[in-house]
Structure 1
Amino acid sequence: MKNVIERFSIGLVVFLCTCTLSLHAMPEAGSDAELDRNTDWVFMPDAALPNVLILGDSISIGYTRQVRELLQGKANVYRPMSADGTRPRNCNGTVVGLKVSQPMLQSHQWDVIHFNWGLHDLKHVKRAHTNEKSNDPQDPQQSTPQEYERNLREIVRELVKSDAQLIFATTTPVVPGTLNPLRTPDAPVEYNAIAVKIMAEYQIRVNDLHAYCLPNLAEWQQPKNVHFKPKGSQAIAERVAAVILEELAKKERSL
């Protein structure tokens, strides 16, 4: 009887610890903009304006509409959308990056493409190349650094064919204690270094959002979460819009 009680007590402690951990590290279901079902994403493009494409995960979903507003009257701002055109689509990691992006790449003549992959690639998953979230550091990342480099190179080769001005945005920071899934603060640094090397080879501009956000995480980013508060998404949008405008000016001068 004593052994049964002891086993029950140990099990109860483990259960309570798990519950406590879950309370302090809520699952990352997506950015606020990705979860918001009431926002209207449909817009009427102006045929006289240049076309801009934003490719990326939920972080980019969090700033796309703000960039569209900031560039109103200056550019048409698009991103991958659901089949009915009403919901933004998450480009996930480089494993599916081309599959998600290809329809958009072929849909318009693009003047500027602002793109990012990395935050999904570096997360820990139960099985490689999946979205099965894991908090176990022994479990694999969705893509190893070597796989990330190979996949990103393939994506860049396709983007170059568009003849657009290309801008790569570095992956934004991860704070300690970020779970559901596990991401570590050093992972964006490692994956960004790989990406920046590739961009240098192709002479692609880098918008260093990692460095831009790092000093402001306490104010801009949600606690122990890779997603941003509205203030953070707006600040990123302003940076992204400014860089896009500079590249649009370069494109115009080259014509």
Structure 2
Amino acid sequence: MLARLVCLLVLSCTVFAAAVRAEQARSPYAPVTDDPALPRILIIGDSISIGYTLGVRDLLKGKANVHRPPTNCGPTTRGLEQLDAWLGTGNWDVIHFNWGLHDLKHCDDEGVLVAVGEGHQQVPVDQYSKNLEQLVLRLQRTGAVLIWRNTTPVPEGAKGRVPADVPLFNQAALAIMQKHGIPTQDMYSSVLPRMEQLMLPKDVHYNENGYQQLAKTVAAIIEEQLAGRE
């Protein structure tokens, strides 16, 4: 009887460990083993991009190696500090990137999200523009095709962010992208009329269907840019 219990315990532990490994392998942060015959894609962005990374990876399976930094890329200030590490030493064919939601959010002196009026905007739009300009110049040095994904809508009632700030930041970013000839994926306009269907209530994040829809649009524009290189 005791031997049977031990066997069951060992089997349970083995199954659990296998499930954990499978879950880790499905993480957006999981390392990607490149197929050298396929182009290399890098997705840079905050939690919105984390939410669609796996979907993009699935949709481009057999077509591209889809990577992302193993972190939330946060505001432009974090980008300036860590972009070189995220880019690494390899070559990239396409880089799909965004900063914005963490720049326009309101936080306290510790960087913690707070209600509007209780703190300060993490990166005001003028400084955001300057930071983004520097980031674009660094990204251009990679020689990759660049795709800017603009900042997604903020629903009414979402803590620490003002919905009307998003178009201001997107307009600032658009001016930079037009200056450098970088295409913009206008995810803001795509999501705006479907916020109730795609997003969580009073939250900048998305439901499962929402992330699936975002992934489809990201995969499509990456494929379009890859086709343009052929």
What TM-score comes out, normalization by structure 1 length?
Answer: 0.77
How many angstroms apart in 1 are the aligned matches of 2:218 and 2:167? 20
Write the letter of the residue equivalent to 1:214: L
Q: Alpha-carbon deviation of 1:53? A: 0.4
Structure 1 range deviating more: 95-104 or 146-155: 95-104
Conserved? CA contact 1:55–1:101, under 8 Å: no
- Are 1:184 and 2:162 matched, yes or no? yes
- Pairs within 5 Å for 1:75-154: 75-81=64-70, 89-127=71-109, 131-137=111-117, 139-154=119-134
How many angstroms apart in 2 are the aligned matches of 1:230 and 1:39? 19
> Alignment partner of 1:54: what SS?
strand
Give the equivalent residue in structure 2 for 1:216.
194
How many angstroms apart in 1 are the aligned matches of 2:116 and 2:166? 18
Conserved? CA contact 1:199–1:206, under 8 Å: yes
How many angstroms apart in 1 are the aligned matches of 2:83 and 2:23? 25
Query: RMSD over aligned Cα, in angstroms?
Result: 1.4
Give the equivalent residue in structure 1 for 2:152.
172
Which runs of 5 or more residues in structure 1 are unaligned? 1-36, 82-88
Q: Alpha-carbon deviation of 1:108? A: 1.6
Give the equivalent residue in structure 2 for 1:54.
43
How many angstroms apart in 1 are the aligned matches of 2:217 and 2:24? 23
Conserved? CA contact 2:116–2:162, under 8 Å: no
Alignment coverage as a number of residue pairs:
205
How many angstroms apart in 2 are the aligned matches of 1:239 and 1:136? 31
Which runs of 5 or more residues in structure 2 are unaligned? 1-21
Give the equivalent residue in structure 2 for 1:156.
136
Q: Alpha-carbon deviation of 1:39? A: 4.2
What TM-score comes out, normalization by structure 2 length?
Answer: 0.86
How many angstroms apart in 2 are the aligned matches of 1:190 and 1:104? 27
Greater helix proportion: 2
- Listed one character per residue, the Cα deviations across residues 101-132 of structure 1 (whole Å, up to 9, x for unaligned) are 212313321100000000000000113xx522
How many angstroms apart in 2 are the aligned matches of 1:245 and 1:157? 24
Give the equivalent residue in structure 2 for 1:200.
178
> Alignment partner of 1:77: what SS?
strand
Q: Alpha-carbon deviation of 1:44? A: 2.4
The match for 1:66 among 41, 55, 61 is: 55
Identity of aligned residues (%): 42
Give the ranges of 4+ consecutive aligned residues of structure 1 lying more than 6 Å apart after TM superposition.
Answer: none
Write the letter of the residue equivalent to 1:231: N
Q: Alpha-carbon deviation of 1:138? A: 5.3
How many angstroms apart in 2 are the aligned matches of 1:131 and 1:45? 36
- Listed one character per residue, the Cα deviations across residues 127-166 of structure 1 (whole Å, up to 9, x for unaligned) are 3xx5222103252100011110010001000001011110
> Alignment partner of 2:146: what SS?
strand
How many angstroms apart in 2 are the aligned matches of 1:251 and 1:71? 16
